[in-house]
Structure 1
Amino acid sequence: MKKFLRALNVRQLFLVGLLLGSVWLRPTLVSAQAFAKGADTSWLQQMEANGYKFYDEQGVQQDCFQLLKDKGINSIRLRVWVNPSMVDWVNGHCSPAEVVAMATRAKDMGFRLMIDFHYSDSWADPGQQTKPAAWKDHTFSQLQQDVYDHTYEVLSSLKANGVTPEWVQVGNEIPGGMLWPEGSTANFGQLTQLINKGYDAVKAVSPTSKVVVHLDKGNDNARFRSFFDKLTANGGKYDVIGLSYYPYWLNQDYTVSLSSLQYNLNDMASRYGKQVVVSEIGGDCANEPQKVYDMLVAVQNAVFAVPNSQGLGVFYWEPQGYRSFSGYQLSAFSNDGKPTAALNAFLVTPTLPPTTPTGTNVLANPGFEADGATQTPTAWSSWANTAGNYAADKTETGGQASPYRLTHWLGSAYQASTYQLKTGLPNGTYMLKAWAMNGGGQKACQLYAKSFGGAEMNVALPVASTWTQIQLTGIQVTNGQCEIGLWSDANAGNWCSLDNVELFATPTATAASGQAVGAARASLYPNPATETLHVELPLGAPATTLRIYSATGKLVLTQALQGFRRQAVDVSRLAAGLYQLRLESAGHTEKHTFVKQ
C-alpha cells in the first residue's frame, strides 16, 4: 500500500485506508441468505457530487447502489472521519453528517450496514493513526472520553434516522494501534481501554450491533495471534475479528495465500470464540477480472466454511471508485462507469469446499466441438417459439477453453432453448456446471435442470463479457434422467453464450466430518502437523488409498497405504492451511481434516 501511495501525485494521496493487506461437513452453517456480500462505498457521495455517473452493461445510467444490489451485494460499509476536510473532495468528506445521509439511503434500499470508525480526520491504517486535530493536545483520559462521545454521537444520529448498523468497527486496520502515540500497541493496555470505550459507546446506543476489531494482512496468522492474545490478556471487548486481504499488495497470486487465509479464519474463530469477517478485499479488475472473480468466489467460500457459523461475509473496498476519479487500481468498475465482470462473483452462492474432485461428466459434446459451426450440434436439441427463431441457436468460434461455443442471438425478439436429455442415470445427487457470457437485456436467460423427478432448478446467467463459471448443486435425480439446457426469452439483439457444460454425480455426505462410511475410523496425529502426518488404520483394514485436497478442492497428494496399519505421510511441502484427507478402499470412504503449520 505504501509503495502505491508514494507513486501517486499529491492530489491522489488518498489511499491510506487500505493496506497490504474447516471443516468439510458440519451440523450448522451461516445460511447463504445471511452471508454478508458487501461493498465499502465511502467515496460514493463525493463522486456523485462531482458529476461521476454509473451505468449498467447496456449503458443505461443507474443508481450505483442499485447496480451493486443487482450484482448480489447486500451490505454497505461506510467510514467515518471526525472533522474531515470538506475542500479536498477525494481525501476529505466522510463526515458524520454525510455518513448518516449515506447510511440512511442504503438502509432505505434494503442494505445491511457496517460503520467503520477511523478516529482520525483522514485516513487511518497501519502506516498512520493520526489523532483528530481537535483531540491533539488531550490527555489520555480525555482521549477515552473523545472516543466514547464521538462513537455515541454518530450512532445516535444514525438511530434518530432509523438506522441500526449490524456491525461497527472500532478503529481501521490497527495492528499497530490507533490514536498514536497514546493508543499504540507499545501501550497495549491503553489501546485496550480505547477499544473498550468504543465498544461501550456502541452497546449503549445499539446493543444488537456487533463490534469489529480489524487488522490487515488476513493471511498472517502470527500477526493476528500476537495482537488478539494481547487484547484478550488486557480484557479487550469485541464481537468480531475483521481481516483485510489484498494479494495484489502482497505481490502474489491469491492461490499462494488462500490456504493461509482459511487457516487464519478458522484459527481466529476457534482460538478466541469470535465471529470473523473479511472487512476489505480487492484485486486488479482492470487487467485480470477473471482472476479477481475467482479470488472473490474462493474467499467467500473460505469465510462460509468457517466452522459453527462463525464466518460472516466479505466486503469489497471501494468497487465503484473507478480510476479516472481515484487512480485506484483495484476498483471493480471500469472508467466508463460500468461494473466489471469480477463483481459477478457476488452472484455466486457461497458453498463448502468440495468433498470430492469433479466426477465424470455424463453429457455428450459438452464443449460443442463435435461439428464446428452449426445449428444442430451433436447430442443437443433445440426449441424455439417460431420456426424463424430456430436461427437464434447456433455454435460459433470463441469458446472458453476450446474453439467453439453455443450462442443464442437474433436480430429480432426470440424465445429459444438448447438442451440435452440424459437418460439411464443412476438415481442420486448431481451437480451442473457451465461457463457463460451474457450481453444482458433478456427477459430471462437461464441455465436449467428439469425432468429429474423434482421441481425445475435454474440459475440466471450473470451479465459478463468474460467467461464466468456458474453452477447448480443438489440436483436430486429420482427417475433416472435429467434434462439440462440454456433458455432465452430475449429482445432483439440480445445474446448469451455457454461452453464446457458438466453434469456429474456428487457423493452423499456422511453424517459428520471425519466419520467413515461402513468402516471403523482411522486416526491422524499430530494435528496440526508440520513435517510428518501419521495415519493409523483400524486393525484389519483393506488396501487403502490416501488423498489430500487443499481448501479449494485441488488434489495435492496421493499415497497408497497397502500392507501397513501405520504409515507416515510427508506433508512438509504443503503450504500452511486447512486440508481434507480422504481414505478410500473397497466399499467405503472416510474423511478427515487436518491443519498443516
Structure 2
Amino acid sequence: MKKKTLKSLILAALAAGTFALMPTADAAVQVNPIPNLPENFIKGADVSMLPEMEKLGAKFYDVDGTQMDELQIMKNHGINWIRLRIWNDPKAGPGGGGNTDEARAIEMTKRAHALGLKVLIDFHYSDWWADPAKQYTPKAWENDNEDQLVQHVHDYTKQVVKDFQDAGCEPEMIQIGNEIKNGMLWPIGKLPSADGDKAFARLMDAGLKAVREADPDRSIQLMVHLPDGGDNALYQRFFDSLKKNGVTDFDVIGLSYYPFWHGTLSELQQNLDDISARYDKDVIVVETAFGYTNENFDSMKNCYDENMERIGGFRSTVQGQATGLRAVMERLANVPNGRGTGMFYWEPDWYAVPGAGWKTGEGDEWDNLAMFDKNGKALASWDVYKDVSDKTAKAVAPKFKEVDSIAVEGGLGAPVQLPATVRVTFSDDHSENLPIAWQDAAPVFQKTGDQSVKGTVTVDGKAVPVKGTVHVIKKVDLVKNGDFDDSGSLDGWTVTGDTGVMDVVSKGGDALGKSAMHYWSDKAFRVTATQSFTGLKDGKYTVKVLTAGGGGQNAYQLFIETNGERKAVDIKDTGWNKWQPTEIKDVEVKNGKATIGVALDAPAGTWGSLDNFEFYRQE
C-alpha cells in the first residue's frame, strides 16, 4: 500500500467516524470467558521498567482512581506472575530501558513474593537490550575466547541464582537468553554459524546447567525464548539444532507474539500445537501487547501505529486491547494436553514518563501499547485477566459494527486497481479483512478529481455497502509491484548479485503496508534490484523510494539508467520504522527505455527495507 494511500485511508476513516468510536479509559470492556482455561494458568506481566519509572516520579492508579502500588493493581485484576530482565552491567552500556540489573531484580522479586506473585527472571547476558537484531557480549567478557565465555556464563548464572536464594527470594522460573533466534553473546554465539551451532549450544548448556546446579531440587522451571511466534519453520530449525547438540534439559519454550509483527493467530496456534508435542515442552507466550490508542504521548515516535493496527487485526481501543489478549489466551488454552500454560504482557506499565526512555536521552516508543493511560491510570482492559476465568459469565457473540471507507489514488485514463478486501470491525473491536464485490473492480476515469466507487461486503450472510473514493491525478506510476502488497513477492523485479539476502517481509514497521522488499545477511554482500521499461514517452521522469533500516552500508544508492547514462543518489537510513524518502527528478528519457533500481554493498549484519517505489512521467 502506498504511504500516501494509507494516509488517505486514515483520513477517510476519520471522516467516516471509524476512529471516533474509541472507548475512553474508564469504559467497561466485554470479555467472554474461556471455558477450558486452566485455573493455574499464568497471567503475567513484564514490569522491568517499574523501578526506574518510580524513581522518576511515576504514579499508578487503579481504574477507580485510587493511587497504589502497580503490583497491587495488577494483582487486583488477576495477574499472578511478573517477569524481570537482568542486564549484566547497565552502567557499561548506553543506559536507559530501566537499567535493569541484578539488584533491582532481587528487590522487585521480594516485592512480588510479598504479594503472592511468582517471578520469571530473564537473563539477557548483555549490558543492554538483547534481541534478534543485537546480542552484544557484556563489556567485561568481550575479550573472552569460547571456553572463557562458556565458563563466564556458567559462573555468572549460578552466582546470580545463589544471590536470589541468599536473599530469600528464589524465582519460580528462569529463561536463558532473550529472543535468541540469532544466537546470543555475539560473535562467538552468533547464529547461523559455521560450526553447526556448537559454540552457541555450549553457551546455552552452561546457563541451563548452572541453574540446575544451584537448584538440585528442580523447583525452578527453565525456559528457552524465541521471537516470531507464528514462524513454525524457525522454531523447528532452532530446537532441532539444540537437540542435535544435546541441549534438552529445559521445561518451557517461550514465544514472543505480537500480531502486528509475528503472523496470524492461526499461525501462532499451529506453532504452539506443533512445538509442544514435537519437543515435549510446555509453551508460554512470554511477550505480547496490543495498542489501546494510536495517539503518542511524548516526542519519541511509537513503534505501533495505524498500519500495525490494520495488520494485527484488533482496533487500537481499550476494548480491542482486551479482545486481543483474550484471543492469545484462548489459543494457549487450546494447545493439546494442557501444554499452553501461560502468557505475559510486555511492559504494560510503560506509560510516557520523562526520562524513562528506551535509551538514555530518548523517549518511550511503547506508551500506546501500555495498559495505563498517559496519567498512569489503569485501563479497563485489565479486567480481561479475571473475566476470562469467570465460569458464570455468559458469552456474547460479537456483532457487525462498521466497515471502513476506501480511498485510493489512480491515474487519468488508466485502470484503477481497487482493493480486494476491506476492514470490517465487530462489536468486540476485533477486525477482519473481508472480500469486496465491486461494481467495477478496475474502473477507468477520464477526468481528474475525486470519483466515487461502490461495492458490497458480506458479513454474517448480509450484504453491507462499501463506499470508496478514487482520487484521480494525471501522474501514472509505471512500477510493477512497487509496494509488494498484492503479490507478497518480488515479482516484476530482477535481483542480481547475492540474491539470497533479498526477500519480502510482512511485518509492521518493516513494511509500510502489507509487505516490503527486505535485505539482511550475516555475511558481507552486494545485491542489485532493478526493473526495466520500454515504450516510454519522451519527457522528464521521476523515480522515488521509501526506505528504513539500520544503516552502515558501504554504498547504497537509488539509480536510473537511460539514454546510455546513469544517475544515482545515496540512500540514508536512520533506524527501524524511520522511513526516509529518496528520489531522482527531471531525468530526460528520449529513447523510450529506462531501468530503475537500487544497489547495495554492505558488511555482515546490515538490514533494511524498501517500499513504495514510484516511476512516472512528470506532467
Report what 1:320 is aligned to.
Answer: 349
Report what 1:94 is aligned to.
Answer: 100
Task: Note the alpha carbon deviations across 1:476-510, whole angstroms, 9 max, x for none.
Answer: xxxxxxxxxxxxxxxxxxxxxxxxxxxxxxxxxxx
Report what 1:223 is aligned to.
Answer: 234
Report what 2:149 is aligned to.
Answer: 143
**Correspondence 1:332 to 2:371:** yes
Give the deviation of 1:79 after TM superposition. Answer: 0.1
User: How far apart, in 1, do the equivalents of 2:101 and 2:281 lie?
Assistant: 30
Give the deviation of 1:351 after TM superposition. Answer: 9.7
Question: Does the Cα contact within 8 Å between 2:318 and 2:379 map onto a contact in 1?
Answer: yes
User: How far apart, in 2, do the equivalents of 1:351 and 1:229 lie?
Assistant: 39
Distance change >3 Å, CA 55–CA 41, structure 1 → 2: same
User: How far apart, in 2, do the equivalents of 1:38 and 1:350 lie?
Assistant: 14
Report what 2:204 is aligned to.
Answer: 195
User: How far apart, in 2, do the equivalents of 1:183 and 1:93 lie?
Assistant: 24
Report what 2:603 is aligned to.
Answer: none
1:267 to 258, 274, 277: 274
Residues 116-195 of structure 1 correspond to what in structure 2 (within 5 A)? Answer: 116-187=122-193, 188-195=197-204
Equivalent position SS for 2:140? helix
**Correspondence 1:243 to 2:249:** no
Question: Does the Cα contact within 8 Å between 1:54 and 1:64 map onto a contact in 2?
Answer: yes
Residues 473-488 of structure 1 correspond to what in structure 2 (within 5 A)? Answer: none
Distance change >3 Å, CA 233–CA 292, structure 1 → 2: same
**Correspondence 1:209 to 2:220:** yes
Equivalent position SS for 2:388? coil
Give the deviation of 1:163 after TM superposition. Answer: 1.8
Worse overlay, 218-227 or 329-338: 329-338
Report what 2:395 is aligned to.
Answer: 433
1:283 to 290, 302, 308: 290
User: How far apart, in 2, do the equivalents of 1:292 and 1:40 lie?
Assistant: 17
1:51 to 36, 53, 57: 57
User: How far apart, in 2, do the equivalents of 1:106 and 1:41 lie?
Assistant: 11
Distance change >3 Å, CA 116–CA 246, structure 1 → 2: same
User: How far apart, in 2, do the equivalents of 1:257 and 1:92 lie?
Assistant: 31
User: How far apart, in 2, do the equivalents of 1:155 and 1:30 lie?
Assistant: 35
User: How far apart, in 2, do the equivalents of 1:294 and 1:195 lie?
Assistant: 36
2:40 to 16, 34, 52: 34
Question: Does the Cα contact within 8 Å between 1:84 and 1:121 map onto a contact in 2?
Answer: yes
Distance change >3 Å, CA 56–CA 435, structure 1 → 2: farther
User: How far apart, in 2, do the equivalents of 1:81 and 1:305 lie?
Assistant: 34
User: How far apart, in 2, do the equivalents of 1:336 and 1:124 lie?
Assistant: 29
Report what 2:333 is aligned to.
Answer: 304
- TM-score normalized by structure 1? 0.52
How many corresponding residue pairs? 330
Question: Does the Cα contact within 8 Å between 1:280 and 1:315 map onto a contact in 2?
Answer: yes
Give the deviation of 1:468 after TM superposition. Answer: 7.4
Equivalent position SS for 1:344? helix
> One-letter code of the match for 2:238?
F
User: How far apart, in 2, do the equivalents of 1:351 and 1:152 lie?
Assistant: 41
Task: Note the alpha carbon deviations across 1:56-99, whole angstroms, 9 max, x for none.
Answer: 12222110001111121100000000011299763352111111
Q: CA RMSD in A?
A: 2.6
Which stretches in structure 2 are left out of the alignment for 5+ residues? 1-34, 294-315, 357-363, 399-426, 430-619
Which stretches in structure 1 are left out of the alignment for 5+ residues? 1-28, 251-255, 353-429, 437-466, 470-597
Task: Note the alpha carbon deviations across 1:351-390, whole angstroms, 9 max, x for none.
Answer: 99xxxxxxxxxxxxxxxxxxxxxxxxxxxxxxxxxxxxxx
Residues 397-546 of structure 1 correspond to what in structure 2 (within 5 A)? Answer: 432-433=394-395
Distance change >3 Å, CA 102–CA 309, structure 1 → 2: same
User: How far apart, in 1, do the equivalents of 2:70 and 2:377 lie?
Assistant: 10
> One-letter code of the match for 1:298?
A
User: How far apart, in 2, do the equivalents of 1:87 and 1:129 lie?
Assistant: 12
Question: Does the Cα contact within 8 Å between 2:292 and 2:317 map onto a contact in 1?
Answer: yes
Equivalent position SS for 1:185? coil
Give the deviation of 1:30 after TM superposition. Answer: 8.6
Give the deviation of 1:288 after TM superposition. Answer: 2.3
User: How far apart, in 1, do the equivalents of 2:268 and 2:84 lie?
Assistant: 24
Equivalent position SS for 2:328? helix
Equivalent position SS for 1:249? coil
Question: Does the Cα contact within 8 Å between 1:182 and 1:191 map onto a contact in 2?
Answer: yes
Equivalent position SS for 1:247? coil
User: How far apart, in 2, do the equivalents of 1:349 and 1:198 lie?
Assistant: 36
Task: Note the alpha carbon deviations across 1:73-128, whole angstroms, 9 max, x for none.
Answer: 10000000001129976335211111111111111111011000000000000000
Question: Does the Cα contact within 8 Å between 1:297 and 1:350 map onto a contact in 2?
Answer: no
User: How far apart, in 2, do the equivalents of 1:175 and 1:88 lie?
Assistant: 23
- TM-score normalized by structure 2? 0.51
User: How far apart, in 2, do the equivalents of 1:152 and 1:291 lie?
Assistant: 42
Question: Does the Cα contact within 8 Å between 1:76 and 1:113 map onto a contact in 2?
Answer: yes
Task: Note the alpha carbon deviations across 1:446-481, whole angstroms, 9 max, x for none.
Answer: xxxxxxxxxxxxxxxxxxxxx879xxxxxxxxxxxx
Task: Note the alpha carbon deviations across 1:394-424, whole angstroms, 9 max, x for none.
Answer: xxxxxxxxxxxxxxxxxxxxxxxxxxxxxxx
User: How far apart, in 2, do the equivalents of 1:91 and 1:181 lie?
Assistant: 23
User: How far apart, in 1, do the equivalents of 2:47 and 2:393 lie?
Assistant: 35
Task: Note the alpha carbon deviations across 1:160-207, whole angstroms, 9 max, x for none.
Answer: 122222211100000000001111123311111111111111111222
User: How far apart, in 1, do the equivalents of 2:74 and 2:67 lie?
Assistant: 13
Question: Does the Cα contact within 8 Å between 1:144 and 1:197 map onto a contact in 2?
Answer: yes
Report what 1:234 is aligned to.
Answer: 245
Question: Does the Cα contact within 8 Å between 1:30 and 1:312 map onto a contact in 2?
Answer: no
User: How far apart, in 2, do the equivalents of 1:152 and 1:87 lie?
Assistant: 23
Distance change >3 Å, CA 208–CA 66, structure 1 → 2: same
Question: Does the Cα contact within 8 Å between 2:175 and 2:224 map onto a contact in 1?
Answer: yes
